[in-house]
Amino acid sequence: MLFLPIFVFAQRKHQAKLKHKSVSAVPAANLSLSFRVVPLGVLGGIDESNLSAYMIAPVGSDNYACLDAGTLHAGIEKAIENKAFSVRGDKVLRQYIKGYFISHAHLDHISGLIINSPEDSTKNIYGLNSTLEIVKTHYFTWESWANFADDGGSPQLKKYHYSVLQPGTEIPIDNTEMHVQAFPLSHSNLTSTAFLVRNKDSYVLYLGDTGADEIEKSQNLHKLWEAVAPLVAAGKLKALMIEVSFPNEQPDKTLFGHLTPRLLMNELDVLAQLSGTTLKGLNVVVTHLKPPYKSISKIKTQLNYANKRQMNLVYPRQGKPLEF
Ligand SMILES: [Zn+2]
Ligand SMILES: [Zn+2]
C-alpha cells in the first residue's frame, strides 16, 4: 500500500463523482484494488537493462506471473532498491515468479529469461505454439544457449516446461491464484499475443507488440476488443497495458508492426464503441516506448493531447509498483 500511486486515488475520486453524472463512462463498480504490477523493464529497445517485463500478482500475494521477460535481473534489483520487495533478488526470481508469459520471441521480450536461466527455478513458460516453437528451435538449442527446457535439443535439462496456450481458452496459472486467456496479435511477420489475466472477478489485459488492424490488414485487435468489451462495460477491466512504440511522424511502412499515439486512439475508439462506454477513467498503461528520449517525450505529448476520452494514461517506471 505504501507505493499506491497517486492516479489510483485520482481515479477513485473521479469515479465517485461519475456515479451521479454519467451512465456511459467506465462503471465505478468494484473500486477495491485487485492487482499489483511490478515493471521490471518498460522500454521498447536499445537499453538492455530496461526491456519489456511486468510481474503481476493479486494484491497481497507473492505468487507472480511475469508478462514478457526482456529484462529480469536489473529490474528486480531496481525494484528492491525502491523497496517494492523486501527479500533478496534471487528469491524474487526463483520463488516469486511462478511462470513466464512470452508474447512473442523477439529478443527484447525474452533475453532476460535466457540469460537468467542458469540461476532460475523450475517453472512454466507459457505462450502460443508458434512462439514456443521459436524459443525451442532458436534459443534453448545447445547452439545459442543450453537447453533448460523439456523439449527440443538433447539433453533436455527440464527446468522449464513449455505450456502451450490455445487462443480463447482460459487456464489456471500454476502456483498462483490467477487465470489467463491468450489472444493472437499481428506484429509484422510474427504472431504476437495478448494475455487476459484474471483474479477472481477482475482482469488486466496485457498486449505484446502489435500493429493496428488498418496497417496490418488484420482483424486481431477488433476480435480482442469484442472479447473484452463486456468486461469494460461491467467495470471489471482494471487496466489495459498496450504498446506505443513510435510518435505519429513514423511512416506506415517503417512501423514494423507497432502502434503510434494516433493508431492507439483509433483502436480505443473501437473498444469504446463496442463496450458502449466512453472509456473515461480507464487505466491505460503505455508500454514499449522506443528510445531515443526525444522520441519518447514526443509520444507522451502526442498521447496526452489526443486523450480526448480522459482515460487514465500511465507511464510505468522500472521497479515502481502499480496497483489497480
Ligand atoms: Zn517485437
Ligand atoms: Zn518489442
Q: What pLDDT is recorded for position 20?
A: 45
Q: Average pLDDT, stretch 128-148?
A: 98
CB 165: neighbour CB atoms within 10 A? 22
Question: Residues 214-223, buried b or exposed e (16+ Cβ, 10 A)?
Answer: ebbebebbee
Q: Which of 4-8, 16-20, 28-32, 252-256 has the highest mean pLDDT?
A: 252-256
Q: Is 63 among the domain residues? A: yes
Q: What is the pLDDT of residues 212-245, one digit of tens each?
A: 999 999 999 999 999 999 999 999 999 999 999 9
Would you say residue 324 has pLDDT above 60?
Answer: yes
Which residue blocks in the chain are alpha helix, DSSP H? 6-21, 73-81, 89-91, 111-116, 129-134, 213-216, 220-233, 261-275, 293-306
Beta-carbon contacts of residue 112 (< 8 Å; ≥ 6 apart) = 40, 41, 51, 53, 69, 70, 71, 72, 73, 75
Q: Is 323 among the domain residues? A: no
Q: What pLDDT is recorded for position 33?
A: 85
Return the beta strands (E) in the chain as ranges: 35-41, 53-58, 64-67, 97-101, 123-128, 160-165, 171-172, 179-187, 190-199, 202-207, 237-243, 283-287, 312-314, 322-323
CB 63: neighbour CB atoms within 10 A? 17
Q: What is the pLDDT of residues 40-90, one digit of tens each?
A: 999 999 999 999 999 999 999 999 999 999 999 999 999 999 999 999 999
Q: Are 318 and 112 in contact (CB under 8 A)?
A: no
209 Cα: distance to centroid of ligand 2 (angstroms)? 6
Would you say residue 11 has pLDDT above 60?
Answer: no
106 Cα: distance to centroid of ligand 2 (angstroms)? 6
Q: What pLDDT is recorded for position 1?
A: 45
Q: 139 vs 112, 147, 159, 209, 295, CA distance in Å?
A: 12, 8, 14, 20, 31
Would you say residue 181 has pLDDT above 80?
Answer: yes
Q: Is 21 among the domain residues? A: no
Residue 317 has phi, psi (to 5 degrees) of -125, 140
Segments forming the whole domain that contains residue 122: 10-15+29-317
54 Cα: distance to centroid of ligand 2 (angstroms)? 13
Tell me whether residue 268 is exposed, middle or buried, using C-beta atoms within 10 angstroms of its C-beta: 0 to 12, 13 to 18, 19 or more: buried
Q: What is the largest CA-CA distance in the chain?
A: 64
Q: Is 61 among the domain residues? A: yes
**17 vs 260: which has the higher pLDDT:** 260
Rg over CA atoms, the chain: 19
Q: Is 20 among the domain residues? A: no
44 Cα: distance to centroid of ligand 2 (angstroms)? 5
Q: Is 130 among the domain residues? A: yes
Q: Are 194 and 207 in contact (CB under 8 A)?
A: yes
Query: What is the number of the ligand closest to the CA of 111?
Result: 2
Q: What is the pLDDT of the chain when averaged over all its residues? A: 92
224 Cα: distance to centroid of ligand 1 (angstroms)? 19
Q: What is the pLDDT of residues 274-320, one digit of tens each?
A: 999 999 999 999 999 999 999 999 999 999 999 999 999 999 999 99
Would you say residue 12 has pLDDT above 80?
Answer: no
Q: 224 vs 170, 181, 230, 308, CA distance in Å?
A: 14, 11, 11, 22
Q: What pLDDT is recorded for position 27?
A: 58
- Binned at pLDDT 50, 70 and 90, residue 187 comes out as very high
Q: Is 165 among the domain residues? A: yes
Could you say which DSSP state residue 111 is in? Answer: H
Angle between helices 293-306 and 261-275 (to 10 degrees): 30
Question: Residues 27-38, buried b or exposed e (16+ Cβ, 10 A)?
Answer: bbeeeebbbbbb
Quote the number of domains for the chain.
1
Q: Are strands 237-243 and 202-207 parallel, antiparallel or unpaired?
A: parallel
15 Cα: distance to centroid of ligand 2 (angstroms)? 33
Query: What is the pTM (predicted TM-score) of this model?
Result: 0.90
Query: What is the number of the ligand closest to the CA of 243?
Result: 2
Domain harbouring 47, CATH code: 3.60.15.10
Q: Are 158 and 120 in contact (CB under 8 A)?
A: no
Q: Is 2 among the domain residues? A: no
159 Cα: distance to centroid of ligand 2 (angstroms)? 25
